[in-house]
Amino acid sequence: MELPNIISWIAIITLAGSYWFQIYKIHVHKEVRDLSMTYHVLLALGFGILIFTAFVEDSTIFLVKQIATFIPVLIIIGQIKYHDKDHWHSKNDPLCSRCNTENEPDWHYCPTCGQMN
C-alpha cells in the first residue's frame, strides 16, 4: 500500500471517529440544544449525494469514506430528534430574569425570549 493510500484510510477512520465521539457525547449527556438540525440534515444530504457519486465513479475509498460519515450523521439526526426536549442542568447556570429559562454562563442573550443578561 502506498503512502497516500494509507493516509487516506487514516483520514477516513479519523473523520468517522469524530462523529462517533459526538454520538457518544450525546448518549452520555442527553443534550442536543447546541446542535443544529439544519446543519446535520444538509451534511447527511451532501454525504448521500457523494455516496452516489463515489458509486458511479467506482471509487472504493471514496465510497467507504462517505458511508462511514453518512451513517453516524444519520444517528446524530436521530439523537437530536429523540433528545430535543432533554436538558443537561447545572445548578451554576444563570436563569433569565424575564422567562426564568436556564442559560449558559457566557450567553449574553436568552435564546428563549431574547432578554439581555
Domain positions in the chain: 3-82, 91-117
Mean per-residue pLDDT of the chain: 89
Nearest-10 crossing angle of helices 60-82, 3-29: 10
**DSSP run (H or E) holding 6:** helix 3-29
Decide if domain 3-82 falls under CATH 3.90.440.10: no
The number of CA neighbours under 13 Å toward the Cβ of 52 is 5
pLDDT at 1 over 70: no
DSSP state of 94: P
pLDDT tens across 2-48, in order? 998 899 999 999 999 999 999 999 888 877 877 889 999 999 999 99
pLDDT tens across 74-99, in order? 999 999 999 887 766 677 888 888 88
